[in-house]
Structure 1
Amino acid sequence: MNAVGVVVEYNPFHNGHAYHLEMAKKTANAEVVIAAMSGNFLQRGEPALLSKWARAKMALLGGADLVFELPYQFATQKAETFANGAVSLLSSVGCQSICFGSEDGDVNRFYQTASFINNHHDEFQMKIKYHIEKGISYPSAISQAFKDLSPDEEVIDLSKPNNILGFHYLQAVQKLAPSINIFTVSRKSANYHDEHFASSTIASATSIRKTLFSDDGSIQGVKQYVPESTYRQLVDYYHAYGSFHSWENYWPLLRFRLLQTNPEELRRVYEVEEGIEHRLISIALTSNSFYDFMKKLKTKRYTWTRLQRICLHVLTNSLKSEMSNHDEQVKFLRLLGMTEKGKMYLNKMKGQTSVPIVSKLSAHQHEPAIKLDIRASRLFALGAIESKRQLLLDLDYKQPPIIIRKQNKNGTQ
């Protein structure tokens, strides 16, 4: 069975994602779509709106056939490490191709960009270092360094978030799994960071979340931008757990961690560098919300995203010694869910995956990489209202992989 892989967060799954899955299958001429999906915390260093289980179900109802969790060790990292983990995962489950969404939409331009940078590697790295030393963030330095080289050939815009990720997926494939084919699909109507609805049916996940968290927002307000199955999951999740998840849910926990931990201990936490531990502590003393804290913490040198990732690693106490992964490979495949077709694919792949498939957590809970995911899930559960936290705390051990049976035309089973 020909399988195409996608790298996703689905925060939440919306109509643009459904289009991407449809086009991925069509473009790659695939029978099965396999998703490498971030767990309860995401690449931008923030909690997911809903649990990984709810988002996995959205994905399966929306067109994916298998959903595997991208481990915390990769899912909450910079673009390069995130991409290495995702490509490693998809390669491990036998994907013949990977299809990603991008602002550019032309895969040839990604190859041309990679070739250009490889041919100017030393100069490119020197330019990046020069701009970082001037005090700008690493992503901005990459974009500026690329502009400085002024390539004449057709290349992608590396200031665009999905282009950046797509470029790193291509680099990861060339390094880790060169036999995998790469395809890209243009994003429809809405851009990644759009905070307002751009069309009558397509919206960015950012604008959907903004509506759900706005003062007058309601789940009804996003109904036209998500499949009916997603809308039902949003309603059911809110009723089951009392809220969606945002950084504000975790601010009291983060503030407690910062105020009861000394600078020496904080320096052991992943990404805490250059004396920022002192700023973290001093600003926590005077901040009344996570947003207030972040506004005071933000500098030209650090992007909002990197600061969120630092805060996340402090919250989960993820140490430098735990987060390093020198061989850039996933050590296990945490299966979150499957359709009947996905189950058939797994049966055909039995014994052929390069790393073990984990469907029952208790048998693997003492493995170092899985310990990180368990810790992250436990912290995530504390973002629910108090009376519902135990339900989320139990999920990682009690929830078996979701199985979606054959659906009728309106998406119900």
Structure 2
Amino acid sequence: MASPQPHGTPAAPAAHGTEHPRQHADAQHADAKHQARSVAEHAAAVTALLEPLRAGHRTETLPLARALGRGLVADVRAPISLPPFVNSQMDGYAIRSIDVPDGGAELGIMPPVPAGASPGALQPGMAAPIMTGAMLPSGADAVVPIERAVPDRFLPATAQPKEDATVWLPPAAAGTFVRAAGSDVQAGGTALAAGTFLGPAQLGLLAALGLPEVTVFQAVTVLLVTTGDEVVEPGRELPPGKIFDSNGTLLEAAMEQAGLQVRRAGIATDNPDRLRTLLREEGAGADLIVTTGGVSKGAYEVVRQAMADQPVEFLHVAMQPGGPQGIGTFEGRPFLGFPGNPVSCLVSFEMFLRPVLAGLLGAPAPRLPVRARLSQPLTSPGHKHQVRRGSLGADGTVELQGGESSHLMHALAGSNVLVHVPEGVAALAAGAEVEVWML
């Protein structure tokens, strides 16, 4: 990373000891920087707020088919070994390695061993046709692939080897193309650790172990409320000065994709009493309330006003976009207030709610961080963690989409990564390495 660069040069002090206007602005800016909470500190606060979602009564045991996308409550110990028996890695001939010298040998042919069969012992000087995954006969310690045999094909399935039937085979060391019992998972070992996200591969492992069900954390139910007199539901007439609500759709889709159960409460007007009533009535049974908008320091910040008598803190996080945040409880229910700009609210979800739930409950799956190189230079406020949108190409370079503004929905829609510029970095040159999160 490039070293932090200062933003401009401090102005010279004014004459006669008076404070220069620029100095006053810099002092206010320094105070704001000092008061801002770091990204890590706010993530820790969100974690503490949502820690009760890990409570024992919030778990359930589900059939594997219904557990996709959930997080595992406790370690799963393997009840059996995988594979449960020594088996063949290839279609070929099971042999005793001592029966085939360096120059190869003609061996007699025993009855074939299909997958699922329990074969008899392999006799000295004999080879047993064997299929991939089939149990290795006792006495056998290696498998020669069929393509190395002469002839390089099996007898028809309906034919039985004649007593004098033979096959020429090259030598194979003990263990060649043999899968040892327990080579994947040993019985009694940890198959999956607590907190594991259950995707197709993890559920497939549990099925292979013979487990029909699994204990997972319950899905989180979120009441999602968009606020603002200026927003209108898509599909309705758009009066002058109004905008269509994108936040509701944007966040609902992000949350549902992450496995959360979302309740939409429509758009709340800038009336604090009505918002409180809505949260009280619609929030019953929800695990978490999330609002968008109304958390800054303007004259009509309805969420701030509605939470005036609640243990809710409104603060600024040293992040761009998504600085203004609200956190606390509404009548005992966890509450998060995200900013109203579309990109800001999505970045807030991706930076705080999604990773915190992943850490607490094992779901959703965390975003995959990768390293990429910038295709162009960028600047960033050195006292903030900046999150830019970008498009990662196959060559490992990332092209920034849009600027720093938090209203650029078209740029967001054309992005496949979030680009992270840590606090303390003011500028990066083209070709600089950055961390990006795959969307």
TM-score by length of 1: 0.24
Larger Rg: 2
TM-score by length of 2: 0.23
